[in-house]
Amino acid sequence: MSIKPLHPKEPVAKCAVFTSAQAVGFTSRGDERSAFCVGQKTASAAQARGWRVIYTAHTADDLVAFLKTHTPQNPLVHFAGVHTRGDVAQRLTAAGIPTRHIALYDQTLHDLNIQARIVLDRETPVVVPLFSPRTARHFDAQNHGKAPLHIIALSAAVAEALNHTICTSISVCALPTRQDMVKQVKKRVLSMTLG
């Protein structure tokens, strides 16, 4: 996957919503403006760029639920990529919290390279970490190998995007974080190594 900045005209937002650390990097400095974030990595990136993080949720659903009960006084701007999950801006607006989605970047999916195809065509088990429903569907469509796949999905939504017939096992991270993904991958590799 490659990331391409879109350089839209960025509105002045008193309150921002960030659902990815990637989006934070494409915004102007926060200058102590308020931000609501999904994930600790996103919150840390926002703080590093001068945003005052008011709340950090584990998931987009958690963030929407929080904002419905703690409605900000100012309209929100959801800075994100072209491809988002959770319809955050739409759901908040429908709940009476005006929220505008601004796409700051696009993610282009690429075909599996030859090295990946060779590994996937062997009969040796392969651990595959997948971080989004979109990349899960893309991997599913690209993989025609015979390797037994042990999928580690960042969330239930990622797992649901797969064609389960190609998987030997699917594990879902307890928390949708990079740290939990690393923990789950290590656990799976260790169990495969020890038998």
pLDDT of residue 136: 94
Please state the pTM of the whole predicted model. Answer: 0.79
Give the Cα separation of 34 and 51 in Å (integer).
6
CB-hemisphere CA count at 13 Å for 83? Answer: 12
Closest by Cα among 31, 10, 27 to 18 = 27
45 near 21, Cβ under 8 Å? yes
pLDDT of residue 12: 80
94 near 116, Cβ under 8 Å? no
pLDDT of residue 178: 86
pLDDT of residue 41: 92
Buried b (16+ CB within 10 A) or exposed e, 128-149: bbbbbbbbbbbbbeebebebeb
Is it true that domain 2-107 has CATH number 3.30.479.30? Answer: no
pLDDT by residue, tens only, the chain of 195 residues: 888 988 878 778 899 999 999 999 999 999 999 999 999 999 999 999 999 999 999 989 999 999 999 999 999 999 999 988 779 999 999 999 999 999 999 999 999 999 999 999 999 999 999 999 999 999 999 999 999 999 999 999 999 998 766 789 999 999 888 899 999 999 999 988 886
pLDDT of residue 10: 76
Give domain limits for the chain.
Answer: 2-107, 114-194
